[in-house]
Amino acid sequence: MYGLGRIGNHKAAANAYEHKDHLGNVRAVFTTKADGSLDILTATLIQT
């Protein structure tokens, strides 16, 4: 996902982060685990 620096839009209620593409579409949602690692909840992959 281009490095973790591009994950943004923290959703505090779900303790999740959204990754958006250049058009503003949500492409992936991640949560943080107790050890600080990320867990992918859902992802939409597109072929370019």
Domain that holds residue 9: 4-43
3-state SS string over the chain? CCCHHHCEEEECCCCEEEEECCCCCEEEEEEECCCCCEEEEEECCCCC
In a domain, 31, yes or no: yes
pLDDT (tens digit, 9 = 90+) per residue, 3-47? Answer: 444 556 767 767 788 887 778 787 888 887 888 788 888 877 766
In a domain, 38, yes or no: yes
Rounded to two decimals, the pTM is: 0.55
The total number of structural domains in the chain stands at 1
Smallest Cα–Cα separation from 29: which of 46, 17, 15, 20? 17
Label residue 38 exposed, middle or buried (CB < 10 Å: 0-12, 13-18, 19+): middle
Name the pLDDT band for 48 (thresholds 50, 70, 90).
Answer: low
The pLDDT value recorded for residue 3 is 46
